[in-house]
Amino acid sequence: MFSILVVEDDKNLRKLMLAVLKQNGYIGLSAENGEEALQVMDTSHVDLIISDIMMPYMDGYELADTLREANYHLPILMVTAKESFEDKKKGFLIGIDDYMVKPIDMDEMILRVNALLRRSHIINKHLLTIKDVVLDYNELTVTKNKESILLPKKEFYLLFKLLNYPKKIFTRQELMDEIWGMDAETDERTVDVHIKRLREKFFHFKEFEIITVRGLGYKAEKYDD
């Protein structure tokens, strides 16, 4: 599943877009402005951004410019009421990938999201490589020296999440909310069980390690030097 970050200060439109994305098989993340979007990206894996332009604190132009300056290459789809050629030109020069003018058609939005993901090769390159180890998000596999281990979804998502943000400490609740969902009827011990299983399966791997941070949660270390 791919994660789409919706950056929109209109609460009702943001909810609608998130609902449509979920109906079409995407994980929806949300932010009310550019500053909040950057905070979300610090803790969550994001494959594509759908962003409004006119927002408080940090607008869509500033967000796109900040991400491109920081070498984030994920696709950005701008959704806005500003439809002049100069507005579009400014966006494309900053580095956005596509543009939709409000009011938007939700079916068209999904088509554009699909096309942007294909064009950026994310569907074909959704991989995380650590020396000789390759995690394939689409296949849910961890491969080393041509030997692949197929993981259950939750175990794979948990490992992929931790390794995407090495050294970052995640609380059990943060991992629960993202991997299992905020409405999941499970408790934090579920995370501990899955971490134990991952350690048992990969104890012989020297490329990475899952570390318990007492009183806080978990973090991963990558050894790819």
CATH number of the domain that residue 46 is part of: 3.40.50.2300
pLDDT at residue 198 above 60? yes
Is 56 found in the same domain as 82?
yes
- Does the pTM exceed 0.75? no
- Cβ-based neighbour number of residue 213 at 10 Å: 11
Q: Which residue has the tokens 């020297």?
A: 206
Length of the chain: 225
Whether 115 and 12 share a structural domain: yes
Say yes or no: 95 and 133 in one domain.
no
Q: Measuring CA to CA, which residue among 50, 59, 103, 110 is closest to residue 77? A: 50
pLDDT given for residue 182 in this prediction: 58
Q: In the predicted model, is pLDDT for residue 171 greater than 80?
A: yes
Model confidence over 24-66: pLDDT tens digits?
989 899 999 999 999 988 878 788 999 998 888 888 889 999 9
- Measured CA to CA, the distance from residue 111 to residue 119 in angstroms comes to 12
Predicted confidence (pLDDT) per residue in 105-156, tens digit = 999 999 999 888 877 754 445 778 888 899 988 789 999 988 999 999 999 9
Task: Read off the CATH number of the domain in which 154 is found.
Answer: 1.10.10.10
pLDDT for 166 beyond 90? no
What is the spatial distance between Cα 142 and Cα 134, in angstroms, rounded to a whole number?
6
112 and 158 inside one domain: no
Best mean pLDDT range from 166-170, 210-214, 221-225: 210-214
The per-residue pLDDT for 119 is 76
Residue span of the structural domain in which 86 resides? 3-119
First-to-last alpha carbon distance for the chain, in angstroms, is: 30
Assess whether 138 and 81 both reside in one domain. no
Q: 42 and 92: one domain?
A: yes
Q: Which of 85, 119, 153 is the last residue of a domain?
A: 119
